[in-house]
Structure 1
């Protein structure tokens, strides 16, 4: 059972530890600085990405002994003169995802503006995945939530094969490689985007992927919280089926997949688009245990009156055993469950807006 949770917020990184029967903030890091991504190892080492706005994206690594060292952040090459029609910048805006690569020392970083970087030395050096970045279709990618830059929010590495990777891109769909990024294909069959013009709803690049998750024991089973629906795939993302039983809303940002049960996943629904707060002011978690045919609305211990907490893409996490969950909100709330989401306890703290929640590796 995991005994540490890392919470990245707009004002620092908070490290939670289990104490007695509950959880408490044990340590704080980078107070005052926005933390956009975290990767925790079982030995206590960490990678933390900071989004310092005008001062740029920064990357720090903590050793198992607790010492922090700043690393060089991933960097794009200079923009070529013949790329004047490329609408996206060739400079790092934000590190949005940090994921282990399935090989000792390997880490993948997904960024805004849609770059994928690989490190084989635990973040000391980085290389841009050139085949994806220089693909002509990348120029059709769209910005996140109306912004200027598309972003890679999900990097899923098949635990059986580190060369097999799936990306979730907002807004550019689901992309796949089976050769460690030497070539890529777009796999969105069955998805649609209802805010596109008539006849363009099924355009694969127009699919706004909020977040992807996969079952570690059955990696071919994947889940997607899309901008306008919840989808499930049983063939590693090649084909998707919409799950219309989701309640109380099909809109949301976060999804967590059970690590061993391919039929179980959790979502945090909210009211869509202009509103973007919990339906009826009630914070709930939607759980399916039958592959999406039905959903339970879980609310025990969650605020059910005048609650307007929104949960971002990386704000929901499940531990490696599939028993503990945690999620944090844009209002600074953090809730933890020890019974697979059936009931929740609020952390006795008011945190800054939460962007990232992650259990330490077992």
Structure 2
């Protein structure tokens, strides 16, 4: 089955295609001159791509073929009197006939017309704790959006440096869900915010089981986010950004970095860690990855899986490298390209 990687970089987007997950054709850059920060297939099957420009600001572009693009008629935007600025599109996901976009400054927007126009999800964007929301080093951003496959009204978002929120009524109201996680930026009025979540995934068969890569470490919840416990045994570092899950085996993949101060691969060794026991233990995967003087970091949107069996795993680095594995991370190879700084890697098995 052919695999397509849509790679968002600081200098445009690139498309990597393979029929066997070993040999790759590289196309691009598309949207040259824009930073590409997120991408997803929309409800109608075309592509929705988040972009940013120091001239034009943040926007969403649409495309049928990843070659020709048109900007959305009415992209996500805060009202002029809100005092909040939309700086970047961090995440785009499709859920049924709707598309959602997580943005910075932190907020959630929804589209009911395949991404042409977008409306704010005010239950989150105007949350009672909003005045206490503080940014992390990467800004105040809504970067993760999850849905319960068995309950269409239940969803989660991850906001840095605020925490995880859950809605049980389709986004009308939201509750912080961070009990058990170490607080990073304590708020004097709201003790349930100030948690710097970096990455968030759910078990595709049981959305009550959620995993989060946090600023303060790795955590797992078995009750839909009501409570969290640490699960870090074997990791080279608690700190990191992305997390991905194999939908078949439920194996987890993360990319640890050296502390929140340095944010580089530990000891200059580029390694992905995998857990095959729901996060109880972790083991390094590095066959084919550079193990000396490798300092390209993997950002929160730059690690993905293809959902095939065996699962393919893919990631990009801040040094512009793209690596692929066709065997759940047991072995890796570099794609024949050196791109600008990689923001995101979106994976599609066609």
Distance in 2 between the 1:317 and 1:347 partners?
15
Contact 1:45 1:66 in 2 (8 A): no
Deviation of residue 181 (structure 1)? 0.8
Deviation of residue 254 (structure 1)? 0.6
Q: Which residues in structure 2 correspond to 1:310-349 (within 5 Å)?
A: 310-321=297-308, 323-349=311-337
Q: Does 1:175 align with 2:165?
A: yes
Query: RMSD value over aligned CA atoms?
Result: 2.1
**Deviation above 3 Å: which 4+ runs of structure 1?**
41-44, 64-67
2:344 corresponds in structure 1 to: 356
Q: Which residues in structure 2 correspond to 1:46-61 (within 5 Å)?
A: 46-61=47-62
Q: Which residues in structure 2 correspond to 1:86-165 (within 5 Å)?
A: 89-101=83-95, 103-104=96-97, 106-145=98-137, 149-165=139-155
Equivalent residue pairs, number: 346
1:308–1:209 distance in 2 versus 1, CA, 3 Å: same
Give secondary structure in 1 for the equivalent of 2:131. Answer: helix
Give secondary structure in 2 for the equivalent of 1:55. Answer: coil
Q: Does 1:29 align with 2:34?
A: no
Deviation of residue 33 (structure 1)? 1.8
Contact 1:6 1:358 in 2 (8 A): yes
Distance in 2 between the 1:127 and 1:196 partners?
30
Q: Does 1:229 align with 2:217?
A: yes
Deviation of residue 161 (structure 1)? 2.6
Deviation string for 1:36-77 (max 9, x for gaps)? Answer: 111135986211111102421121101259642211221112
Deviation of residue 218 (structure 1)? 2.2
Give secondary structure in 2 for the equivalent of 1:142. Answer: coil
- Of 284, 295, 298, 2:282 maps to 295
Give secondary structure in 1 for the equivalent of 2:206. Answer: coil
2:206 corresponds in structure 1 to: 218
Deviation of residue 154 (structure 1)? 0.3
Distance in 2 between the 1:243 and 1:142 partners?
26
Give secondary structure in 2 for the equivalent of 1:35. Answer: strand
1:191 corresponds in structure 2 to: 181
1:297–1:65 distance in 2 versus 1, CA, 3 Å: closer
- Stretches of structure 2 that go unaligned for 5 or more consecutive residues are none
Give secondary structure in 1 for the equivalent of 2:117. Answer: coil
**What TM-score does the superposition give when structure 1 sets the normalisation length?**
0.90
Contact 2:48 2:63 in 1 (8 A): yes
**What TM-score does the superposition give when structure 2 sets the normalisation length?**
0.93
Larger strand fraction of residues: 2
Deviation of residue 230 (structure 1)? 0.5
- Stretches of structure 1 that go unaligned for 5 or more consecutive residues are 81-88
Contact 1:217 1:260 in 2 (8 A): no
Deviation of residue 31 (structure 1)? 2.1
Deviation string for 1:297-355 (max 9, x for gaps)? Answer: 01101010001011110010011236001000001011000000111110111011000
Q: Which residues in structure 2 correspond to 1:268-279 (within 5 Å)?
A: 268-279=255-266
Distance in 1 between the 2:185 and 2:59 partners?
35
